[in-house]
Amino acid sequence: MPKSPAREATNSPEFAAMDFETPPRPTSVGNYFDERALRISNLIDEELKPPLPAGDPYPDASTGKSTLQKQFQLFYASQTLDRERPSWRPVVYFNILKAVRMILDELDYDFSTRSQANDDEAVPSSSKTLLPEEPAAMWWSEIQELRAQLLPLIAMEDSLATDLSGGVSVTGGRTGAYVRAGWQALVTSTFSPAESRITESKHTSEVVTLASRTLAANVEPIKALWEHPAVKRLLDSRKLRLDESAPFFLASINRLAEPDFLPSNDDILNVRLQTLGVMEHTFPVDMGGSTYDWKLYDVGGAYLEEDPKTNRIDDSLQLFNAICSNKLLVKAHLVLLLNKADLLKKKLAAGTKVRKYYGDRPNVYESVSDYFRSHFTQVHRRKDIAKRTLYIHFTSMLDIKATQSIIANVGEVILRQHIKQIGLA
Ligand SMILES: Nc1nc2c(ncn2[C@@H]2O[C@H](COP(=O)(O)OP(=O)(O)OP(=O)(O)O)[C@@H](O)[C@H]2O)c(=O)[nH]1
Ligand SMILES: [Mg+2]
């Protein structure tokens, strides 16, 4: 049987983000907190069970680190974000092309497996997935027609990815485009011999120009594909799992396909572009009248080895454990952002249940988030060698207003600490 292309492209285990193993048991008992910790410690190996609402994004390994970096940039250096705006255009195109290709691949796979099931006499009728009332043949010819129209567009995906990755070819299949430090210069700037320096210019690579034109010529088939009942059915049944950015971009295709399209802040925050290696960002920050350069290091998670047997919360708890007990970080402040809270809310509202050890607790955001938070608090309480204050925020990094207010708070805490240190010096 052919392998599902969409599942191949996103190899994360279902709901792994919410599924975790036993954290270490508390060493002391007796006080309320330890009892509570012990109880929590028994509430492990939990799983969130689908069903998933229509179009709900598939949880992937990317937690939103680069999105946080963009929010910092928006807060502390919005003029640099304005300058970079044109370089996000090909990334938006890439996200659209990838989504279109994944939809078509999954439709192919779905149709071929369903035909196989129906042809196979040995398959019990209950396993046959082709519903008798479904106008399969009709929608299949519609999809084939759309595919033929969209072929020139999806054929550009790889060259666009290579363009964005600055010539880095990505092995292991079409997993996406990767960017590393300086990528924006590759797609938006050009060398001006007359001025002997790198200048911002209107230069756009041929690939990007072609992608823009091809996209403009294909607005209708893209819309028809995205709104097609066969696609909706695949999304509802969770057979089709797209990048989180896909619904956002496909729903706005008219605007994005305009020839003079310039990405908005929301577009820039929504794009999915994997980070390669470590990228350093510098922000000038005013602290008590003097300007300091803050450095933000954005680490790419793409090449981190993930053990498919170790679930993500457990992974995060182990990492947080190492951070709290790391002597080199003893002078660092601890701010823990538990991101994508909007997705957690959405899933719980849609009836997704926290299963197993969660017991009879209410399956609502307040209770579930408190439960997750307490695991980290517990690790911090036991492992923080410097007895620091731990600031924990549940965040939704696509929400500009809320995230900017958190960044302002974090900034204030650091500023206060800094003034204290200067005072003590
Ligand atoms: N719904 C939702 N989506 C988010 C949130 N934060 C980030 N995203 C989206 O998640 C995707 C991945 O975000 P990135 O910031 O690229 O993730 P990353 O951690 O930098 O990933 P790597 O570079 O691969 O390690 C993007 O499409 C973001 O728009 C959030 O709070 N809620
Ligand atoms: Mg990143």
* pLDDT tens figures, 59-112: 456 899 999 999 999 999 888 888 889 889 989 999 999 999 999 999 988 888
Across the chain, mean pLDDT equals 76
Q: Does residue 364 carry a pLDDT above 90? A: yes
For residue 399, the CA-to-ligand 1 centroid distance in Å is 12
Residue 302 CB–ligand 1 contact under 6 Å: yes
Which of the ligands is closest to the CA of residue 70? 1
Q: What is the pLDDT of residue 66?
A: 93
Residue having the nearest C-alpha atom to atom 13 of ligand 1: 64
Check whether 242 is labelled as a binding-site residue.
no
DSSP-derived secondary structure for 278-327: EEEEEEEEEETTEEEEEEEEEE--TTS---TTS-HHHHHHHHHHHHHT-G
CA-atom Rg of the chain in angstroms = 24
Does residue 110's CB lie within 6 angstroms of at least one atom of ligand 1? no
CA distance 424 to 74: 32
- 341 labelled ligand-binding: yes
| DSSP secondary structure, 37-104, as one string | HHHHHHS-S--EEPP--TTPPP--S--SHHHHHHHHHHHH-HHHHHHHGGGGHHHHHHHHHHHHHHHH
Positive or negative CA dihedral for 358, 361, 365, 366? negative
Q: How confident is the model at residue 187 (pLDDT cuts 50, 70, 90)?
A: low
Taking only the tens place, the pLDDT of each residue in 197-208 is 333 334 457 888
C-beta separation of 242 from 225 below 8 A: no
- 103 CB-near residues (< 8 Å, 6+ apart): 225, 226, 231, 234, 240, 242
Ligand 1 centroid, distance to 254 Cα (angstroms): 24
Q: Is the distance from CB of 69 to CB of 80 less than 8 angstroms? A: no
Between 154-168, 205-219, 220-234, 261-275, the lowest mean confidence (pLDDT) is in: 154-168
Length of the chain: 425
pLDDT of residue 185: 60
Residue 273 assigned to a binding site = yes
How far apart CA 66 and CA 59 sit, in angstroms, is 16
- Does the annotation flag 355 for ligand binding? no
Distance between Cα 218 and ligand 2 center (Å)? 30
